Structure 1
Amino acid sequence: MHYVISTTWGPTDTTRAALPFIFAASALQAGDTVMIMLFHDAVTIAIDGIHQKIIPFGPTSKFAEVFSNPNAKVLVCKPCAEARSFREDMLLKNAIFGGMNDLHQEVSRPDAKFISF
């Protein structure tokens, strides 16, 4: 199975920011592939050095586990990032800029399930 996840939650609500990554880590542990698309406030999570500072209340953070997994792809909304003056060279090495066309392509896969947080 291929899970396509979109989220807008970032450092303004650390627990909600963590939930898509916790789900993604569970899917990866089960042998599935994952693509997470970060929009709005969530783009901040992909900036190098930031996810380590995001501590959710309750659940254990899974940011590093997802970012380092070769079966996970993390796309950062380019317009959302640029509106915050983030450049692609500021992202973690496993994250890249993307857009709605990329999200559509991933969701259109026959084995894809779409989840939005």
Structure 2
Amino acid sequence: MHFVISATYGPTDPTRAMLPFIFAATALQDGGKVTLMLFADSVFTAVDGAAVRLVPVGPPNKYEDVVGHPDASVLVCKPCLEARGLDAAKLDKRVKLGGMSDFHSAAKQPDTRVINF
């Protein structure tokens, strides 16, 4: 199964910021495919080195398990990034810039479920 996940929480709430990655890592471990789209403040987690410093309360940090997985695609909302004054050159090189059209394309694929955090 393919899971398309939208994330909106950033580093100011590490536990909520990590929940989409935890869900994605679980889906990947179960043999699924994942498209994770970072919207709003969650774009800050894609700044190179930022996510590994997030310490969620309770569950473990699963950022590396997702961005490094061959069946996962992590997209950063380009308008969200620009609205926050972030430079794309500072992002983790494994993520890609995208927009709502990319999220929509992923969501309409067969055997797909959309999950929102």
Unaligned runs of 5+ in 2: none
Aligned counterpart, 2:75: 75
Query: Is residue 19 from structure 1 mapped to residue 19 from structure 2 by the alignment?
Result: yes
**Alignment of structure 1 residues 41-56 onto 2, 5 Å:** 41-56=41-56
**1:6-34 C-alpha deviation (Å, 9 max, x unpaired):** 01011111101111100100000011110
AA of the residue aligned to 1:44: F
SS at match of 2:70: coil
AA of the residue aligned to 2:43: V
Quick one: distance in 2 between partners of 1:64 and 1:29? Answer: 13
Unaligned runs of 5+ in 1: none
Which segments of structure 1 move beyond 4 Å, counting only runs of 4 or more? none
AA of the residue aligned to 2:114: F
Aligned counterpart, 1:111: 111
- 1:87 Cα deviation after fit: 2.3
Aligned counterpart, 1:7: 7
Quick one: distance in 1 between partners of 2:65 and 2:48? Answer: 15
SS at match of 2:110: coil
Aligned counterpart, 1:34: 34
RMSD: 0.8
- 1:44 Cα deviation after fit: 0.5
AA of the residue aligned to 1:13: D
TM-score by length of 1: 0.97
- 1:91 Cα deviation after fit: 1.3
Q: Does the CA-based 8 Å contact 1:4-1:107 persist in structure 2?
A: yes
Alignment: residue pair count: 117
Quick one: distance in 1 between partners of 2:93 and 2:30? Answer: 24
Quick one: distance in 1 between partners of 2:66 and 2:91? Answer: 14
Q: Does the CA-based 8 Å contact 1:43-1:76 persist in structure 2?
A: yes
AA of the residue aligned to 1:56: P
Quick one: distance in 1 between partners of 2:3 and 2:91? Answer: 22
AA of the residue aligned to 1:50: A
AA of the residue aligned to 1:70: P
